[in-house]
Amino acid sequence: MSDVQSRDGQGWFYSEIVKDHFRNPRNFLEDKDVEMYSKEADGVGTEGSPACGDVMKMWIKVHDNRITECRWQTFGCASAIASTSMYSTMITENGGMTVEEALEVKPKNILEKLGGLPNNKIHCSVLADKAFRAAANNYFIKTNQYDKVDNGYRVDKALGITSEDIEDAVLEGARTFQELQDRTKIGVEDKDCIPEAKKLLEHYIEKHFSEEFN
């Protein structure tokens, strides 16, 4: 029996809104469109681990700093699907929130819109929030808005290497990507993170040692 069919002694665990977003997920990205959308998206973020259960991937398109599209895939339970479906609707309706406004949306706001979730499923709303934050950080890096990137943003998801780790490596002498990789092993397993890591490497070199190149 699936989550969406489970009952407690008082009736459904899930609100009608949750069941609707599970059965009719909004903005879900079909497998056939992933390659195309990955090229067109302004920001891409992944949160979760296959080993732990739920995995969330999110793609965003941004125009004039407003989120015009938010597409996603998740491999998880009904609550994760419903939470992300609702979240994607919240940040794109009425012309779309600004990226900064969307970052202010909290998991509790998703829960309120859904009419609540069982206590053991509340983490699913957090997963959607974290996936968006990863996509927003990716967008900020792509558009050279480095001052808006979260401190401690996990660039290499496989090894947990953060933007701070990259900055520390630069301060300790790394000047090329090979030197960065030798120090941190970034990109050894998570090769998708390499373009982002290279941009951050260049940024931190410029930030701390620009006089070396003038």
Catalytic residue set:
52, 124
Distance between CA atoms of 91 and 157, rounded to whole angstroms? 25
Are 34 and 72 within 8 A, CB to CB? no
In order of 25, 159, 172, the CA distances from 90 in angstroms are: 13, 32, 43
- DSSP letter at 144 equals T
Are 102 and 65 within 8 A, CB to CB? no
Distance between CA atoms of 205 and 207, rounded to whole angstroms? 5
Distance between CA atoms of 43 and 29, rounded to whole angstroms? 15
Are 45 and 131 within 8 A, CB to CB? yes
Between β-strands 154-156 and 66-75, what pairing exists: parallel, antiparallel or unpaired? unpaired
Distance between CA atoms of 195 and 83, rounded to whole angstroms? 30
The interaxial angle of helices 194-209 and 177-184, nearest 10 deg, is 110
Distance between CA atoms of 136 and 116, rounded to whole angstroms? 26
